[in-house]
Chains A and B, each alone.
Chain A
Amino acid sequence: MGESKSDVLQGTLDLMVLKTLEAMGPLHGYGIARRIEQVSANGLSLNQGTIYPALLRLQQRRWIKAAWGTSETGRRAKFYSLSKIGQKQVTEETENWERIAATMARFLAPSN
């Protein structure tokens, strides 16, 4: 299901969400989306809506928790935070990603 573009992004997006929550603490969906946009310096043309399926997947794996709360401007919003399992997973996933990135880098390096 879904287009191939988002499939490639799926694992990446999950890790971005995890890293965001690790760095920022509890945050609502909009905040997470903004943060990812800012960090990537708008290098990704990502619809903000795509983070919701990612949030759902992470919740289903119990890596993150969600609870309704109030934003700094006093608006009701759902806040996400890392769970215990999630905290461990961030490290693991980061290592994973670095390994893949390093491998990819070797492939992409000019072969001289």
Chain B
Amino acid sequence: MDWMRTMISRCAALFRRRKLDDDLDAELSSHIELAVEDNLKRGMPEQEARTAALRAFGGVTQTRERYRVERGIPAVETLMRDTRYALRQLKRNPGFALTVIVTLALAVGANTAIFSIVNALMLKSLPYAHPERMGTIFQRTQGAESATGRNDIDGEQWELLRDNVPSLLAAVSSDGANGVNLQAGQNVQYVHAGRVSEHYFDVLGIRPGLGRSFSADEDRPSGPKAAILSYGLWHSTFRSDPNLVGQAIRLKGEPYTVIGVLPSDAVTPFNADLYTALKPSRKGEGAGTNFEAITRLRDGATWQQADAELNRAWASWEAWVAARNPGDRISFYSVPLQKGATAELRPKALSLMLAAGFILLIACANLAGLTLVRTARRTPEIATRLALGASQGQIQKQFWIENSLLAAVGGLAGVAVGLLTLRGLLSLLPEDYLPVASVPLDGRVLAFTLAASILSSLIFGMAPALTVRRIDLRSSMATRSVAGGHGLRLRQWLIAIEVALTVILLASSGLLIRTLVHLETLPPGFEPAGVVTAKASLDDARYHDPAAFRKLMDESVAAMQRIPGVESAAVGLNLPYERALNSPVSVRDGKEAGRESNADAIYVTPGYFNTLRIPLVAGRGFTASDTTTTQKVCVVNRAFAHKFFHGENPIGHTLNRGQTIVGMAGDVPLSPGLDNNAPLDSEATMYVPTTQVDAQLLTLVHMWFQPSWIVRTAAPVNGLTGQMQRALASADPALPFSGFYSMSDLQAKTLANQRIEVALLGAMAGLALLLSAVGIFSLVANLVAQRTREIGIRIALGSSIREAMFHIGAPGVRASALGLVAGQVLCLGVLRAMRSVLYGVGVYDAPTMLAAVTTLALVTLVATTLPVLRIARIDPASTLRDE
């Protein structure tokens, strides 16, 4: 208790030292006066009374000192004094302080922003209860082509997982949310629905706020139709009606019973407006691997048990795959959901983190250079202090305090910059790009920023602190300033390092830019300008019947064609730049008979090719006379002909479903779903007429895709979108469009990832370039300032100004050149990691490298020339007179 009271009192004393000092002085002088008074009373003469009083007291100054030592916390008081001194030092050179703080703010800010994303993606727990017990299933293939990855599963695997893996509570869902029509009163809206199995919300640990989750019965193919609403939809469309549960709403053209409403803070991987039961089976959708599984480890079970049960349950599937691909061995294992869900973004986030780390290193190299110069300038001051008896330790401490102050202020500014950057960044990202609900600036991010600031102050403070040790008192006191040969070489090394890192960042962002340019300038193969498209959901009971679907196609397209100014109109299940349905195809006749592979299948109305201006290179397109009863036909693209017929004329051949190929169209870029990982590519595609799609397929594809209505106009038409909606309404008044898109919107959406990568890495490369330029500039500018006298003498001795310029500029250029070479060598190793994100450009791309090197060379030239020009103004006579 006593020591605690003492500590409190001592801490409190830190903040009122002046007042306490005055108080003590008053008390001590009152003591002396009382003593003098006493002595006088005892008959001493005035002078003697005072002397006696002071003698009896002992040393007033010593008493005051001892009192002060015990009053506060001496270590803290010394630190405060040193800090004040450091602040004064920094204030004397505000340019230096500002440069350091801005540099740190930018570097730390970039790191903070990137790290918050990494944190949200990889470190922060998922927003579910006990996320460490949640998993997803990965497939490991060992054999000719080894691979691991998250795999969707089919209906049979699902049933085996559900019934034969007791360690896991498992659930499946559709692959992302899809558009559906929701009718509330007279109003029909296009909302996003996720389809999930029984126990899905149990796995997530979400309990509906109202009502309940899907039952086993509701999850059976012929079970009752039920829906669970998100809080948002319940609140907006149903005005938070507390009695809604149990009532029917009209969804997808039929009545669904609302059985539950999710709580307001519920987060799901879909973030859909509402959820319906998946009703998985081995047929239809479940015949292919179309389900995404998530699992939760049951109490008492271990992941090892779960994996063993899983592989036992799926043994037949493993055997089946192995039989089809001899030599391959596949197995399955659980992966924590967080890791599984962020597997694709992880390498990207990590490489951005690496780039941000480079920025911090470059900034530190710059700051080390700056502080080296500052230390050299302060050599006389330091020498004086050493001569006056300051210890090396005290001088070192002073330096570290100054550095830590700068690092602290820079770090704080960095947090602010990071916050702003992050906000800008998130507004740049497309919706649902990050599989997390929010990217907070939490304690972990702040701790990271703190660590980054401290680390940087350590790195940039080390060099000057080491040079202080070498200060020789006699020579430093004697000379006016010190050129510091060693300091120069160290600074050159620092410049070389930052230039090398900048080369890497420039080259890698250059490669990404080349990739984006390649993808954006892919020959479209159609005419994107002048087209407006709109999607509507046909995942609707009214359109399970092919006749109703055909009627809708005919009437709506005809109505759109009647809009004044419209040249042509059509409907297609998919558009260029989109992902299409993958379908197994085999050839029935001819040389290639029996050839089997996958192709994209797209249903289109007869006007599709004409409206998009996709050229038909052979044969014919579809016409109104291709009907349900006539010969089944299809049009394939060039890529299809290449894949299935080795580029020979495919027309006249028949495919497995009896379609005869009647035409061949040009290729258009699609978002590939088959074997290619490029974000855009032309895939083997077969187009079929809307009139010849069978009922079963129609229902299935509309669960996954929403067809687009396409309208081409010669010139912009006023109120076109409203007229399109009215035209659709004339065919079906209860069918809303989701929105209207131009083809460039679709292209941008598909290439959003690439754009973000380019923007992020480009910004960082720009920052690195700027920092390098500042580094080279300050190196040379400082040399000019330090060597004015030497230059004066050189010129006086007959050297030309040009020669003097070369002499002074050379160290900067040499350092940069070394960095350029080192950077290219490093690129050989580092850039290889980028292979998977590059398209249309090789990892070692000569033009990119050349551009990066040229840019840096130019920047070096400018950063060297600007300060060197000052040499021309040096007047040898006045410089020499200064001595």
User: Contact mask A14-25 → B, CB, 8 Å, 1/0?
Assistant: 000000000000
Residues of A within 8 A of B23 (CB): 78
Is the pair B9, A52 in contact by a Cβ cutoff of 8 Å?
A: no
Are B70 and A57 within 8 A (Cβ)? yes
Q: Which residues of A have CB within 8 Å of B58?
A: 47-50
* Interface residues of chain B: helix, strand, loop or mixed (majority): helix
Which residues of B have CB within 8 Å of A52? Answer: 24, 27-28, 63, 66-67
Known: A60-B9, A61-B5, A62-B5. A53 touches B35 (CB 8 A): no
Within the assembled complex, what's the spacing in Å between the Cα atoms of A61 and B70?
A: 12
Are B34's CB and A28's CB within 8 A? yes
Number of B residues with CB within 8 Å of any CB on chain A: 29
User: Could you mark each residue 37-49 of chain A with 1 if its beta carbon is under 8 Å from any beta carbon of chain B, else 0?
Assistant: 0000000000111
With a cutoff of 8 Å between Cβ atoms, the chain A residues found around residue B31 in the complex are 28-30, 33, 48, 77
Please tell me if the beta carbons of A47 and B5 are within 8 angstroms of each other in the complex: no
Q: Are A28 and B30 in contact (CB under 8 A)?
A: yes
The contact of A76 among B30, B59, B70, by CB within 8 Å, is B30
A 42-99 contacts with B by CB, 8 A = 47-50, 52-53, 56-57, 59-62, 71, 73, 75-78
Q: Does B33 belong to the interface (CB within 8 Å)?
A: yes
Whether A2 is near chain B, meaning CB under 8 Å from some CB there, is: yes
Residue of A nearest to B13 (CB): A60
For B66, the chain A residues whose CB sits under 8 A away are: 1-2, 52-53
The interface residues of chain B lying within 8 Å CB-to-CB of A47 are 56-59, 63
- CB-CB under 8 A for A60 and B10, given A52-B63, A53-B67, A53-B70: yes
Interface residues of B in 5-33 (CB under 8 A from A): 5-6, 9-10, 23-24, 26-28, 30-31, 33
Q: Does residue B748 face the partner (Cβ distance < 8 Å to A)?
A: no
A35 smallest CB distance to B (angstroms): 12
Choose among B2, B28, B34, B71 the residue that contacts A56 (Cβ–Cβ < 8 A): B71
B57 adjacent to A77 (CB under 8 Å): no
Residues in B neighbouring A33, C-beta threshold 8 A? 31, 56
Q: Does B697 contact A (CB under 8 A)?
A: no
Residue in B6, B35, B62, B63 whose CB lies within 8 Å of A30? B35
Is B592 an interface position by the 8 A CB rule?
no
B695 on the interface (CB 8 Å rule)? no
Q: Let me know if B34 and A71 touch, CB within 8 A.
A: yes
Which chain A residue lies CB-closest to B28?
Answer: A52
CB–CB B2/A75 < 8 A: no
Shortest distance between the CB of B75 and any CB in chain A (Å) = 13
17 of the cross-chain contacts (CB-CB < 8 Å) are A2-B66, A28-B34, A29-B27, A30-B30, A31-B34, A47-B59, A47-B63, A48-B57, A50-B63, A52-B28, A53-B63, A53-B66, A56-B70, A60-B6, A60-B70, A62-B5, A75-B34
For A53, the chain B residues whose CB sits under 8 A away are 63, 66-67, 70
Q: Does chain A have a CB within 8 A of B98?
A: no
| Residue from A30, A53, A57 having most chain B Cβ neighbours under 10 A | A30
A76: B residues at CB distance < 8 A: 26, 30
B71 touches A49 (CB 8 A): no
Given contacts A30-B31, A48-B57, A76-B30, contact A61 B69 (CB under 8 A): no
- Closest-CB distance, A77 to chain B (whole angstroms): 5
Residue of A nearest to B23 (CB): A78
Verify A78–B10 contact, CB threshold 8 A: no
Q: Which 3 residue pairs across A and B have the least CB separation, nearest first?
A: A47-B58, A49-B63, A30-B34
Instruction: Determine the residue in chain B with the shortest Cβ distance to A66.
Output: B27
Which B residues touch A59, using CB under 8 A? Answer: 9
Interface residue B37 (Cβ < 8 Å from any Cβ of A) = yes
**Which chain B residues border A56 with CB–CB below 8 Å?**
67, 70-71
Cα(A66)–Cα(B28), bound, Å:
14
B880: CB under 8 A from chain A? no
Q: Which residues of B contact A77 (CB under 8 A)?
A: 27, 30-31, 34
Bound state CA distance, A62 and B7, in angstroms? 12
Residues of chain B lying within 8 A (CB to CB) of residue A50: 58, 63
Report how far A34 CA is from B23 CA in the complex, Å: 21
Q: Which residue of B lies closest to A54 (CB)?
A: B70
**Bound form: Cα–Cα A78–B669 in Å:** 92
Given pairs A47-B63, A52-B28, 14 additional interface contacts (CB within 8 A): A28-B34, A30-B38, A48-B31, A48-B35, A48-B58, A49-B57, A52-B66, A52-B67, A57-B6, A59-B9, A60-B70, A73-B34, A77-B31, A78-B30
Which residue on B lies nearest to A37, using beta carbons? B56
